[in-house]
Chains A and B, each alone.
Chain A
């Protein structure tokens, strides 16, 4: 993510510099063009001449273009006029144009010459011109204005006239009466519209109605009005309209002055050559294209700058385009912009080139097309950045490119700027952006989504809530279903990832989007197929950004309590697909990436409390019970009653369990797995013994601490509990040679990995054989993780980890004097005594003293202890001191929860007395063991790590502001548990 940011920042810088350079060149070129044009104009005051000139130049293409332009112009002119008179919408568009007009003026002169040509050629070109030309045409008319004014008398001319007039006004000299009038109108309208838009975003909607019309208008207007709109598209131009109010003025002025020709740079030089008198026509054609391109480019550029994301610019925008962009930006500053643009036109940009550019622009959408590149280019004499309210108002502008550019600019502004995000929220910009998600044009909803992604990132949850409050989540999901554009999908899922980091939104995301996210992203990208084609080999997962974002989102929501877990488990295909993805990751030895981490975290969260929460869980519980009775059930009861260890039920229970499990294990070893009539699917996969191998592979291969922790946590969750499946899991871990893997991870440098592994070992030691093996092979590593007197610990582990390790040791030596002996042999007593006497942490002290008590209870070991110089006081003084609080320390529960543990502060009290632990807590569930976790959980829960799975903030913005939330989920869990009668809920 960091890289990403850096890159984007760097790319923005680079693009800005590029633009500046281009701008310079363009300006010079424009100036030159201006001179040429003015010369030409002087020479050929009439259009005829111009046309002739063009032809004469021998640039047929150019002429053709021009001609085309003319034709378009004429229609457009008509339309434009009509438009102007009619709907405001039109006017608005015109407005946009106006901005451009300033620039156009200079062009206009050129155009004039063309006009002459145009008339003649009109017929020919018409068809061809349509798309491309249109824009050009308008420009041309402008140019012609001066000249055309003459033409204007004719019907066709009238159109041109109108256009020309505008330009003239702008341009100064060429003002025809009519023209001026039209221009004025348009300006006025323009201004009006803008203000409106600022005030009420709703007006734009009017414009929307016009949309169809607008586009048409463009087409029609294209020549005159239409082009202008395009100008609007150009970010610069868009603002310019405002300029009308804001900046515009300068352009016109400039136009007059513009004429100063400067020597074009590089490419410009070429342009200049062409520019000279004759080729004017060509220039037009080119210009149009260029302009359009330029416009587009500008748009693109903006995007890039704005959004970190923008790729288009770099990729999509052709070199030329970029230069144009540059112009656009710079131009505003310089009145001569117009001239510059002209150069472009002249510039050797041949029509053909222009077309390609369009293509690039195409991605941008209409901008390119609409954009009257020339006009936009010329416009900007005094250009300023719009302020935030203006940008937000532009989101509602009737012209789509204005919307998308405004959204892109917003994205840019919001990047890493919490203040702006907040301001956008206060200015009610978020509902508008959400509304744009449903916009049919890709450019618009893409940009809106980009802005929302940046806005949704960060610590300020208010922004997230604001998105949710205007139904942004269902809107995002709708768009996800609708679009096939990868980039848009990345943005959507990125936004959802950001939103998912805020607890209250998690359930909303589940409610609206879980199945869609699964069907649209998780399943297809995981490579899983519900009905695999036998001919083809299984597909591998694709670690796409979309998958990463989506899995991150689901990872976050999976921590939102029992209900969330239930929904995810029961979501069709989700568990299957995640497992397939992980299997594929292991197969490819690609287990370090973020997507894998997310998947494992989801799996861990879904494994939490499976034995309680999965439908039909009781069935397996009963089964277990049945077995127990069959094998050691009776014993258990007796033992319980007898209370071997001072009547501590807990101990007894554990003891019994151990034995019981031992029996089961033996059976299992010989083969006891239930045979399935059909393959497991869905949530059943979570706890099938098959997953053990998967997790162990991950634990062996991955270098990612979070992934390691999650995989260990999954095993921890699965091995907790008393149902049949956890018994199988515990045995399977052993059979798959998983214990050495886990023990080795006790050396991990990561605190949380050590903790998760340690707790997993504790749960696994519910299996008697595991307990023996762990006691023999893991004791050394466990003790090594304890702090010694001098240093807190070799690794300086956190308190929670130390407590987890202590509790694991306690569990291992419980009911096993052999293990207690190995503890003594590993010099553990010294460390334990130190901890119990001098640790700063009461929890560590308690846990250590409980172990010591336990050791002293093995009378057969006392001799050995006394030989080593220990006496009763070392073991009992502590305990005495601890009395009252023994319970907690003793806790030998099994943690199943990696998840947010259900932590109740009360637990501490409860745990105080072991006796209570077993049945009371478990009572309802019937699991005697599980409850222990609660106690443990306390410890755990104290650790944020428990939740680690959640929150990965979305990077898009940059960093991980959200990253550390942790155990809130625990609270949720508790709530979920406490819920009484479920409210009635009927499907209809």
Chain B
């Protein structure tokens, strides 16, 4: 999933719609993110390309809204409600996901197994 800045990215993505869960005053999605253009990409255990500064799902609460929706650890978030997530800071991504007035977030995510599945089907 390496890409060159300025060049279009081709990736196999899955749409995931997460309905936030209300916990007290907070709306939670039930996952955590890592990465961002302000973070050290070499410490991202999930990226194949260690220069990838994308936003990755680092944890998913078992049984939480994100897991129910099919989000998985290691997923790379490409878009949130249509907003690009491949070139944002960690905090921008966090804010984009946690807007209080949005009860539903729609993600485009990609993951290795998706890519592989498509490759295999194309090859076979």
Co-assembled chains A and B: yes
Residue of B nearest to A477 (CB): B62
B112 touching A481, Cβ below 8 Å: no
A511 touching B73, Cβ below 8 Å: yes
Count of interface residues, chain A, beta-carbon cutoff 8 Å: 24
Residue of B nearest to A980 (CB): B43
Is A671 part of the binding interface, using a Cβ–Cβ cutoff of 8 Å?
Answer: no
Tell me which residues from 965 to 987 in chain A have a Cβ below 8 Å from any Cβ of chain B.
979, 981, 983-987
B58 touching A469, Cβ below 8 Å: no
B90 touching A984, Cβ below 8 Å: yes
Instruction: Please give, as numbers and ranges, the residues of chain B lying within 8 Å of A477 by CB-CB distance.
Output: 62
B62 touching A516, Cβ below 8 Å: yes
Partner among A516, A979, A985 whose Cβ is within 8 Å of the Cβ of B63: A516
Q: A470-B113, A983-B43, A988-B97 are in contact. Are A515 and B62 (CB under 8 A)?
A: yes
Closest Cβ–Cβ distance, residue A472 to chain B (whole Å) = 10
Is B40 part of the binding interface, using a Cβ–Cβ cutoff of 8 Å?
Answer: yes
Instruction: Please give, as numbers and ranges, the residues of chain B lying within 8 Å of A481 by CB-CB distance.
Output: 63
A988 touching B116, Cβ below 8 Å: no
Instruction: Please give, as numbers and ranges, the residues of chain A lying within 8 Å of B40 by CB-CB distance.
Output: 981, 983
CA distance A593 to B98 in the complex (A): 49
Q: A470-B117, A508-B73 are in contact. Are A984 and B39 (CB under 8 A)?
A: yes
Q: A431-B117, A988-B28, A988-B32 are in contact. Are A512 and B44 (CB under 8 A)?
A: no
B33 touching A512, Cβ below 8 Å: no
B90 touching A469, Cβ below 8 Å: no
Q: A469-B113, A469-B116, A511-B73 are in contact. Are A986 and B90 (CB under 8 A)?
A: yes
CA distance A983 to B32 in the complex (A): 12
Interface centre among B28, B44, B67 (most CB of A within 10 A): B67
B53-96 interface bits toward A, Cβ cutoff 8 Å, 1 = contact, 0 = none: 00000111011000100001100000000000000001000100
B32 touching A986, Cβ below 8 Å: yes
Is A7 part of the binding interface, using a Cβ–Cβ cutoff of 8 Å?
Answer: no
Is B108 part of the binding interface, using a Cβ–Cβ cutoff of 8 Å?
Answer: no
Instruction: Please give, as numbers and ranges, the residues of chain A lying within 8 Å of B117 by CB-CB distance.
Output: 431, 470
Instruction: Please give, as numbers and ranges, the residues of chain B lying within 8 Å of A469 by CB-CB distance.
Output: 112-113, 116
Instruction: Please give, as numbers and ranges, the residues of chain B lying within 8 Å of A431 by CB-CB distance.
Output: 117
Closest Cβ–Cβ distance, residue A805 to chain B (whole Å) = 41
A985 touching B59, Cβ below 8 Å: yes
A988 touching B31, Cβ below 8 Å: yes
B103-124 interface bits toward A, Cβ cutoff 8 Å, 1 = contact, 0 = none: 0000000001100110010001
Instruction: Please give, as numbers and ranges, the residues of chain B lying within 8 Å of A981 by CB-CB distance.
Output: 40
B32 touching A512, Cβ below 8 Å: no
Instruction: Please give, as numbers and ranges, the residues of chain B lying within 8 Å of A986 by CB-CB distance.
Output: 32-34, 90, 94
Closest Cβ–Cβ distance, residue B16 to chain A (whole Å) = 13
CA distance A511 to B75 in the complex (A): 13
Tell me which residues from 467 to 524 in chain A have a Cβ below 8 Å from any Cβ of chain B.
469-471, 474, 477, 481, 508, 511-516
Instruction: Please give, as numbers and ranges, the residues of chain A lying within 8 Å of B120 by CB-CB distance.
Output: 428
Instruction: Please give, as numbers and ranges, the residues of chain B lying within 8 Å of A512 by CB-CB distance.
Output: 60, 62, 72-73
Residue of B nearest to A982 (CB): B43
B39 touching A471, Cβ below 8 Å: no
Instruction: Please give, as numbers and ranges, the residues of chain A lying within 8 Å of B36 by CB-CB distance.
Output: 984
Residue of A nearest to B112 (CB): A469
A983 touching B44, Cβ below 8 Å: yes
Partner among B31, B73, B124 whose Cβ is within 8 Å of the Cβ of A987: B31
Instruction: Please give, as numbers and ranges, the residues of chain B lying within 8 Å of A428 by CB-CB distance.
Output: 120, 124
CA distance A986 to B31 in the complex (A): 8
B32 touching A985, Cβ below 8 Å: yes
Tell me which residues from 705 to 752 in chain A have a Cβ below 8 Å from any Cβ of chain B.
none
Instruction: Please give, as numbers and ranges, the residues of chain A lying within 8 Å of B94 by CB-CB distance.
Output: 986, 988
Residue of B nearest to A520 (CB): B62
CA distance A2 to B117 in the complex (A): 38
Q: A469-B113, A983-B43 are in contact. Are A474 and B32 (CB under 8 A)?
A: no
Closest Cβ–Cβ distance, residue B47 to chain A (whole Å) = 11
B98 touching A988, Cβ below 8 Å: yes
A985 touching B73, Cβ below 8 Å: no
A598-620 interface bits toward B, Cβ cutoff 8 Å, 1 = contact, 0 = none: 00000000000000000000000
Instruction: Please give, as numbers and ranges, the residues of chain B lying within 8 Å of A984 by CB-CB distance.
Output: 34, 36, 39, 90
Tell me which residues from 315 to 365 in chain A have a Cβ below 8 Å from any Cβ of chain B.
none
B72 touching A985, Cβ below 8 Å: no
CA distance A200 to B124 in the complex (A): 9
Residue of A nearest to B34 (CB): A985
A983 touching B34, Cβ below 8 Å: yes
A987 touching B32, Cβ below 8 Å: yes
Interface centre among A471, A508, A516, A987 (most CB of B within 10 A): A987
Residue of A nearest to B67 (CB): A474
Closest Cβ–Cβ distance, residue A476 to chain B (whole Å) = 13
Instruction: Please give, as numbers and ranges, the residues of chain B lying within 8 Å of A979 by CB-CB distance.
Output: 43
Residue of B nearest to A515 (CB): B62
Interface centre among A428, A474, A515, A988 (most CB of B within 10 A): A988
B58 touching A985, Cβ below 8 Å: yes
A513 touching B62, Cβ below 8 Å: yes
Closest Cβ–Cβ distance, residue A780 to chain B (whole Å) = 51
Tell me which residues from 13 to 39 in chain B have a Cβ below 8 Å from any Cβ of chain A.
28-29, 31-36, 39
CA distance A481 to B67 in the complex (A): 13
CA distance A987 to B58 in the complex (A): 9
Residue of B nearest to A984 (CB): B90
Closest Cβ–Cβ distance, residue A67 to chain B (whole Å) = 50
Closest Cβ–Cβ distance, residue B40 to chain A (whole Å) = 6
Closest Cβ–Cβ distance, residue A836 to chain B (whole Å) = 47
Instruction: Please give, as numbers and ranges, the residues of chain A lying within 8 Å of B44 by CB-CB distance.
Output: 983
CA distance A477 to B67 in the complex (A): 11
Residue of B nearest to A567 (CB): B59
B113 touching A471, Cβ below 8 Å: yes
Residue of A nearest to B94 (CB): A986
Closest Cβ–Cβ distance, residue B7 to chain A (whole Å) = 26
Closest Cβ–Cβ distance, residue B61 to chain A (whole Å) = 8
Residue of B nearest to A472 (CB): B113
CA distance A513 to B63 in the complex (A): 10
A446-475 interface bits toward B, Cβ cutoff 8 Å, 1 = contact, 0 = none: 000000000000000000000001110010
Residue of A nearest to B66 (CB): A988
Partner among A200, A511, A515, A985 whose Cβ is within 8 Å of the Cβ of B33: A985
Closest Cβ–Cβ distance, residue A975 to chain B (whole Å) = 11
Residue of B nearest to A514 (CB): B62
CA distance A481 to B112 in the complex (A): 25
CA distance A986 to B33 in the complex (A): 5
Interface centre among B36, B62, B94, B124 (most CB of A within 10 A): B62
CA distance A474 to B66 in the complex (A): 13
Closest Cβ–Cβ distance, residue B3 to chain A (whole Å) = 21
Residue of B nearest to A507 (CB): B45
Residue of A nearest to B97 (CB): A988
CA distance A987 to B32 in the complex (A): 4
Instruction: Please give, as numbers and ranges, the residues of chain A lying within 8 Å of B90 by CB-CB distance.
Output: 984, 986
CA distance A513 to B72 in the complex (A): 12
Residue of B nearest to A481 (CB): B63
Q: A469-B113, A471-B113, A983-B44 are in contact. Are A988 and B33 (CB under 8 A)?
A: yes
Instruction: Please give, as numbers and ranges, the residues of chain B lying within 8 Å of A508 by CB-CB distance.
Output: 73
Residue of B nearest to A983 (CB): B43
CA distance A986 to B97 in the complex (A): 11
A511 touching B60, Cβ below 8 Å: yes
CA distance A60 to B84 in the complex (A): 74
CA distance A985 to B97 in the complex (A): 14
CA distance A625 to B112 in the complex (A): 50
CA distance A474 to B97 in the complex (A): 23
A988 touching B72, Cβ below 8 Å: no
**Closest 7 pairs (CB-CB, A-B):** A988-B97, A983-B43, A987-B32, A515-B62, A986-B94, A511-B73, A988-B29
Q: Which residues of B contact A (CB under 8 A)?
A: 28-29, 31-36, 39-40, 43-44, 58-60, 62-63, 67, 72-73, 90, 94, 97-98, 112-113, 116-117, 120, 124
Known: A428-B120, A986-B90. 10 other contacts (CB 8 A): A431-B117, A469-B116, A474-B72, A477-B62, A511-B60, A514-B62, A985-B34, A987-B28, A987-B32, A987-B59
Chosen A-B contacts, 8 in total, with CB atoms closer than 8 Å, are A469-B112, A471-B72, A979-B43, A984-B39, A986-B34, A986-B90, A987-B59, A988-B98
